[in-house]
Amino acid sequence: MKKYIIVFIIVLSGSGIFSSCVKDLDVVPLDKNTILSGNLGDDPIYMKEALGKIYASFIIYGQGGDIPNDIASGDGNFFTTMRALWNCQEITTDEAICAWGDVGIADLNTQTWSPTNPFLTALYQRLSLSVSYANDFIKLTNGNSDPDIVRYNAEARFLRALAYYWSMDLFGNPPFTTDADGVGKFFPKQIKRAALFNYVVSELHAIEDKLGEPGFSYPQADKGACWMLLARTYLNAEVFTGTPKWDSCKIYCDKVIGSPAYSLAPNYRQNFTADNDRNHNPEMIFAWEQDGVNTQGYLGTTFIIESSSDAKYIRAEDYHGLTSNTNWNGNRARLQFLDVMIDTLATYGGANIPATDTFFSQCKDKRVFMRQKLSNDIPSASSTGDYGIGVFKFTAKNLDGSEAINSNPAYASTDFPVFRLADAYLMRAESLHKMGDDDNAVLDINVIRERAYGNTTGNITAAQVTDDFILNERGREFYYEAQRRTDLVRFGKFTNGNYNWVWKGGVYAGTNTDSYRNIFPIPGDEVAANPNIKQNDGYN
């Protein structure tokens, strides 16, 4: 476990990875631990260290040392890729709302953001930075015939494709650069969403056979990760291009499900514990590794755990396994999402959920890691205190309750799942349903529900497979995993559909918002600085 953390630390010990302004590529750095473009090929380990930096750019905020943040900010923890992505994908939806008063959070809570929202700016910049790191690495390793370097090059292309996938999903029409672009100052050109879709798909097809076999060296990207990103890109093809690609999504889900490297974890919770890595959990396909010693910071799963805890109802020391700097009491679920998670007719005979069932223990679906707080209702969009539905899905403990390897009282060692096998089943089920094959779609859905219930009592019939059921099942399976906004957009329920939740649009009962908010604005600073960038419609 945590083998890539070693790579991260070696990289962090240097003052920089690439130096595009170095004119003499034969220059020898004064510090032998500094990796520059000119000495990247001096030692094979340098290649792996530089690749590690690209992976790290998605989960931590910088290299440490005298320049702690890759992007200047008041708090590097706030504006890491996965923390900003989580906020954009979760607190903009029914699954979460944040009680903090930091600038930009209220806008996300209520779907009233503008091009100046700092979380949107940070996420946009971070994804662009990961693309830049990947471009440099790819350019410097192109043409190398060493089998390991060929694979590293393909992994960097995968990471670039992943960054572009999120940019396409969130911002629609971002600036676009590749390793073919020259070094130097220039204004990147903007790419249209449909064209970026074609690029991402073509890149993933091109590298598929150059990546390692499924499960070869977690957490490095392998063929399984490539198939999952292809499936998820095709799943959202109609949103991105106007043309659905359900058959293509199914093809790549078939590949993942058919691989002997992956199987569902017997216990749903193991996907969110400190021992959720592939050494212990064959469901994990691709994740961002975290380690309580070597990736310290209030980011990733540490952020999710700490921000969801409070001193009375979801105490971190009781449920999450962290005891230092706990109980931030920020994120909680909204009341409407409780209706998604719990079928009150089946669990409570149609009656209201009794206040005495504080942990929803009567619910037969064992994916419910939620807690009633002082009040399930949220009286204002930024209510502090013990309101809403507590969520304790992620934990810093091992599945058996023991401490993690490299445990730390303040930082979790729980990897953040990007792709896991359950998603292949539910993506395939959705694709089959859209193609009119509910008889087979229900089989995939019931595989997931049998794990959730521990038996067949939660199984459904083909007649029950509807768009709403699939959307809700995805919510039950993937809540707090930074997928909800994308799913709601695909089903037409994020903005102006027929589904509202408390404080959506800034109104207590919830209200429709304009459909242009299905994508976020390009940050205002970028539009002002780059003459090639046009703002997304609705944000001018």
Q: Does the residue 19 lie in any domain? A: yes
pLDDT band for position 66 (50/70/90)? very low
Domains held by the chain: number: 1
> How many Cβ atoms sit within 10 Å of the Cβ of residue 112?
15
The whole-angstrom separation of Cα 432 and Cα 426 is 10
Task: Give phi and psi for 162, each to the nearest 5.
Answer: -65, -45
- Examine residue 40 and state whether it is found in any structural domain, yes or no: yes
The answer to whether residue 49 sits within a structural domain is: yes
**Residue 42's pLDDT band (boundaries 50, 70, 90)?**
low
Instruction: Give SS3 for 487.
Output: helix
pLDDT in tens, 115-129: 999 999 999 999 999
The verdict on residue 369 lying in a domain is no
C-alpha pair distances (Å), 152 with each of 38, 213, 225, 414:
18, 13, 14, 25
Tell me the average pLDDT across 56-64: 81
For the chain, how big is the Rg over CA atoms in Å? Answer: 22
Q: d(Cα 35, Cα 12) in Å, to the nearest integer?
A: 10
In the predicted structure, residue 18 carries a pLDDT above the cut 50: no
Written as six digits, the tokens of 463 are 């007649």
129: its two tokens: 């930075």
Which residue type does 477 have?
A: E
pLDDT tens column, 333-378: 999 999 999 988 888 888 888 989 999 999 999 999 999 999 989 9
Instruction: Compute how many other C-beta atoms are within 10 angstroms of the C-beta atom of residue 388.
Output: 26
* Eight-state DSSP code of residue 274: T
Range of weakest confidence among 27-41, 268-282, 292-306, 418-432: 27-41
Which of 35-39, 303-307, 508-512, 523-527 is the least confident region?
35-39
Average pLDDT, the chain: 88
With bands split at pLDDT 50, 70 and 90, how would you rate the model's confidence at 62?
confident
Window from 4-18, 40-54, 211-225 with minimum mean pLDDT: 4-18
Q: Does a structural domain hold residue 36?
A: yes
Instruction: Return the structure tokens found at 79.
Output: 């504006």
- Residue 214, classed as helix, strand or coil, is coil
Confidence of residue 16 (pLDDT cuts 50, 70, 90): very low
Angle, alpha carbons 221-227-231 (nearest 5°): 130
Residue 108 lies in a domain: no
Q: Residue 9: its pLDDT value, please?
A: 30
Is the pLDDT reported for residue 493 higher than 50?
Answer: yes
Is the pLDDT at 39 greater than 70? The verdict is no
Q: CA 394 to CA 381: how far, in whole Å?
A: 24
* Residues of the chain above pLDDT 70, percent: 89
322, 409 Cβ separation under 8 angstroms = yes
Question: What tokens appear for 187 in the block?
Answer: 């204004």
| The two three-digit tokens of residue 161, written as one number | 């494709």
- With bands split at pLDDT 50, 70 and 90, how would you rate the model's confidence at 64? low
Is the pLDDT confidence value at 293 over 80? yes
Residue 364 tokens read as 């037969």
Q: Which domain holds residue 48?
A: 1-56
Would you say residue 505 lies in a domain?
A: no
Residue-wise pLDDT tens digits, 386-421: 999 999 999 999 999 999 888 899 999 999 999 999
Calculate mean pLDDT across residues 315-321.
Answer: 77
12 pLDDT above the threshold of 80: no
Check pLDDT > 80 for residue 92: yes
Domain assignment of residue 226, yes or no = no
Model confidence, pTM: 0.92
Give me the pLDDT at residue 33, please. 53
